[in-house]
Amino acid sequence: MNGAKSLTDGMAAPAERGAGWKRYKASLKYGFYVIFHPFDGFWDLVHEQRGSLMAAHTWLFLFLLTYVLRLLLTNFQFITAPIQYINIYEQCGSLLFPFLVLCLANWALSTLFDGKGRFKDIYMAMCYALIPYVLIQLPLILVSNMISFDEAAYYQVLGSASIIWCVFLAFVGLMQVHDYTPGKTLIFLFFTVFGALVILFLILVFFSLLSDAIGFFVSLYREVAFRLY
């Protein structure tokens, strides 16, 4: 009996894993639909569960990868990255940290003002909004090594297009996730930045208080040690 049970367990697990994998692949691919049909796409992404957190993580990772590769491999005619000073972790952190703080601030504010999105939804939508950057900048790295300085205009137009597309997607994404009107989204974008600053302030205060508290105990210990000897 025991043996039979373990057999069925073994049978079920790969099937489940296969289904998860299939869903992951579908949600990853769904990104291509989202960037071309943002209004439908973002709505279905969160409300019809077409996206997945894993796919969002993947796109975010690809975004960071593209960013780093761009710094390292773009031809020197188009980018002046002081490679000897670049720290990849620092670069990724300087993108990821504000990204997450902004998501958090947006979530914190929109929850108070009947936004429909959960933190997970906002994060997912924002990650999907980064897809054009990956799709355009990655080939542009190759292109930059095939064109000359005089043709920089093409390179720059495409580069700016990728950013503008991303910003537009982020805007539509937030609108659809929260079921807001465009005007309200715009106002909340503004407040999000403000909220992010507040969060940064709180983090700073927390760490400075923490270091003060630690400092207090350290000096207390020193005082006691000094008295005892």
Q: Using the rule CB under 8 A, is 222 a contact of other proteins?
A: no
- Residue count at the site for other proteins (CB under 8 A)? 23
Instruction: Please report the DSSP string for 11-67 in residue order.
Output: HHHHHHHHHHHHHHHHHHHHHHHHHHSHHHHHHHHHHS--S-HHHHHHHHHHHHHHH
Q: Using the rule CB under 8 A, is 153 a contact of other proteins?
A: no
Query: In terms of Cα–Cα distance, which of 104, 128, 134 is closest to 52?
Result: 128
Stretch binding other proteins (CB under 8 A), from 25-33, 49-57, 153-161, 188-196: 49-57
On the CB side of 16, CA atoms within 13 Å amount to: 6
Q: Which amino acid is at 134?
A: V
CB neighbour list of residue 196: distance below 8 Å, 6 or more residues apart = 98, 101, 102, 104, 105
Cβ(200)–Cβ(101) below 8 Å: yes
Q: Using the rule CB under 8 A, is 92 a contact of other proteins?
A: yes
CB-nearer residue toward other proteins: 2 or 148: 148
Of residues 10 through 39, those in contact with other proteins by CB under 8 A are 20
Q: How far is the CB of 214 from other proteins (least distance, A)?
A: 16
Residue choice 87, 212, 217, 228 for contact with other proteins (CB under 8 A): 87
Residue choice 82, 226, 228, 229 for contact with other proteins (CB under 8 A): 82
Binding stretches for other proteins (CB under 8 A): 20, 53-54, 57, 76-77, 80, 82, 84-85, 87, 89-90, 92-94, 96-97, 100, 146, 148-150
